[in-house]
């Protein structure tokens, strides 16, 4: 069932307006770290950052994409009745041709994608129910999932559910990385292979699609320079 609940979006007039919406408030807001780097980069350009546009324009499905709306720290209900939503760093609504693409953008410097599934998934029935729902939404199986990162599951499903809510035919998991060491890329590559988006992952390339019931699912890891994000 698609969540039709209206969302109240608060407009950002200044970059620091995002701070109250961060998971840990001002403690998450430091130069050189992902929350600040991501918000700075997208706020500065008021559209697609150059590194993102370059990758999009190299793929026929995303070529010429325009940013229609961007929502920082978007909370998405995971439709399983379990308390706690998935909070996406930036939900980007893109106009491509005559349609829409919904991208869940995750900013990363050197932070991991949360715990491994093997660490997060206890015998708690609520966690078991949530994870089963995520795997089902991705059209995947539990085979090989214990060594994958839990955050990638719920963030990708957020992209799918938000695309369905916007009646968009395309959902995208976009990792916007500001790590010179490509920290986390191995976990990302293992995840997109495991859920069947691609069997040959590469950075700075649109991967997919995987065709689900309502949407086409793509993913991308795009590298950028954290120094150019500081304002």
pLDDT of residue 3: 54
Q: Does residue 6 form part of some domain?
A: no
pLDDT of residue 126: 94
Q: Are 143 and 131 in contact (CB under 8 A)?
A: no
Indicate if the pLDDT at residue 6 is higher than 60. no
pLDDT band for 58, please (50, 70, 90 cuts). very high
pLDDT of residue 174: 98
Q: Residue 161: helix, strand or coil by DSSP?
A: helix
Out of 11-15, 63-67, 80-84, give the one with best mean pLDDT. 63-67
Q: Does residue 26 form part of some domain?
A: no
Q: Does residue 141 form part of some domain?
A: yes
For residue 145, the enclosing domain spans: 36-229
Indicate if the pLDDT at residue 35 is higher than 90. no
pLDDT band for 8, please (50, 70, 90 cuts). very low
d(CA 124, CA 9): 33
pLDDT band for 102, please (50, 70, 90 cuts). very high
Q: Does residue 92 form part of some domain?
A: yes
Q: 120: which 2 tokens?
A: 């997060």
pLDDT band for 187, please (50, 70, 90 cuts). very high
Is 177 or 225 the better-scoring residue by pLDDT? 177
pLDDT band for 23, please (50, 70, 90 cuts). low
* pTM score: 0.88
pLDDT of residue 25: 47
Instruction: For helices 125-137 and 150-165, give the axis angle rounded to 10 degrees.
Output: 60
Q: Does residue 13 form part of some domain?
A: no
CB-based contacts of 118, cutoff 8 Å, min separation 6: 146, 147
Q: Are 2 and 213 in contact (CB under 8 A)?
A: no
Q: Does residue 29 form part of some domain?
A: no
**How many whole angstroms from its chain centre is CA 85?**
14
Indicate if the pLDDT at residue 170 is higher than 90. yes
Q: What is the mean pLDDT of residues 44-70?
A: 94
Report whether the peptide linkage leading into residue 209 is cis, meaning its omega lies within 30 degrees of zero.
Answer: yes
Q: 55: which 2 tokens?
A: 């990758």
For the chain, the domain total comes to: 1
Least confident residue range of 21-30, 43-52, 162-171: 21-30
With a pLDDT cut of 70, the percent of the chain lying above it is: 83
pLDDT of residue 43: 81
Cα dihedral sign for 62, 68, 71, 74?
Answer: negative
Q: What is the mean pLDDT of residues 191-201?
A: 97
Indicate if the pLDDT at residue 225 is higher than 90. no
Q: Does residue 176 form part of some domain?
A: yes
Q: Does residue 106 form part of some domain?
A: yes
Q: Tokens 């001002």 identify what position? A: 26
């Amino acid at each position: 069932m698609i969540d039709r609940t209206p969302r109240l979006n608060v407009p950002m007039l200044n970059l620091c307006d995002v701070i109250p919406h961060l998971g840990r408030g001002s403690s998450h807001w430091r130069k050189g770290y992902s929350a600040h780097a991501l918000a700075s980069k997208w706020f500065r350009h008021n559209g697609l950052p150059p590194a993102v546009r370059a990758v999009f324009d190299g793929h026929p499905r995303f070529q010429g994409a325009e940013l229609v709306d961007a929502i920082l720290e978007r909370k998405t209900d995971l439709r399983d009745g379990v308390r706690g939503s998935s909070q996406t760093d930036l939900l980007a609504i893109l106009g491509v041709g005559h349609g829409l693409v919904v991208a869940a953008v995750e900013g990363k410097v050197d932070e991991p994608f949360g715990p491994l599934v093997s660490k997060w998934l206890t015998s708690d029935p609520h966690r078991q129910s949530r994870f089963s729902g995520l795997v089902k939404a991705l059209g995947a199986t539990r085979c090989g999932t214990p060594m994958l990162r839990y955050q990638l599951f719920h963030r990708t499903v957020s992209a799918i559910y938000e695309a369905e809510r916007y009646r968009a035919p395309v959902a995208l998991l976009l990792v916007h990385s500001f790590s010179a060491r490509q920290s986390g890329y191995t976990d990302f590559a293992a995840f997109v292979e495991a859920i069947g988006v691609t069997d040959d992952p590469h950075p700075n390339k649109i991967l997919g699609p995987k065709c689900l019931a309502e949407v086409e699912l793509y993913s991308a890891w795009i590298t950028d320079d954290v120094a150019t994000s500081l304002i």
